Amino acid sequence: MSERSVSKSREQKRWYSVLAPEQFDRQELGETLAEEPQQVVGRTITTTLDQLTGDSNANNTKLTFKITDVGSDTAYTEFIKYELTRDYLRSLVRRGASKVEASITVLTTDDYRVRVQPVALTTKKADRSQEKAIRRVMIDKVHAAAEERTFEAFVDAIVDGNLSSAIYGDAKEIYPLRRVEVQKLTLEARPREVAAEEEASVDVDADEVAVDADE
């Protein structure tokens, strides 16, 4: 492609300002370039929590947003992922101590399905039964938090550290802990997707019943 063609193609495109959801005060996340508004929908943008909050201690947390709608020269997003940086997670690990992890899928009160991956770091090496008990606390606390919160409130509980603190408070009674973090949260399905899956499951069950009745 000639320089003139490239220049002309670029002139036909326009910049769209990408905004965070209202939950994050509609702060600007960046800009994206496209010829048509529909080309912008579905794109993702990742930033660090400190860029949104101004808290320099939050630079180890990455947040990912997905563009869902476009109006004039503005692109609107939804939150889809929370993740701690690999360097930060590696810095937490100590030789001779235990690292207890879990992967938990839950449904919030407004029917968002999310996968949560907490991690607990002990002061010294815990035995297998203690690790199992700590993991059970993680699972119970994550389920309890989801059962009483909307998706937005659940995300807030993780971003603010409240869920980590709740896990720490109970799990430290099992074995001394150095730290508890939620290393990752991922949005797996929205309410309409969850409803569609449930409807499909009901249809399959009905078909199986019909087949059994015929037999």
Give 71-80 pLDDT, tens digit per residue: 889 999 999 9
Give 88-143 pLDDT, tens digit per residue: 999 999 999 999 999 999 999 999 999 999 999 999 999 999 999 999 999 999 99
Query: Is the confidence at residue 28, as pLDDT, over 50?
Result: yes
CB contact burial 180-192 (16+ within 10 A = b; e otherwise): bbbbbbbbebbee
- Indicate the class that CATH gives domain 84-195: alpha beta
Query: Is the confidence at residue 208, as pLDDT, over 90?
Result: no
Confidence band (pLDDT; 50, 70, 90) for 6? very low
pTM given for the model = 0.87
> Among 119, 15, 134, which Cα is nearest to 72's?
15
To the nearest whole number, what is the mean pLDDT of the chain?
A: 91
Local structure of residue 100 (DSSP, 8 states): E
Only one residue has tokens 């939804």, namely 78
Coil vs helix vs strand at 187:
strand
Q: Where are the domains of the chain?
A: 11-83, 84-195
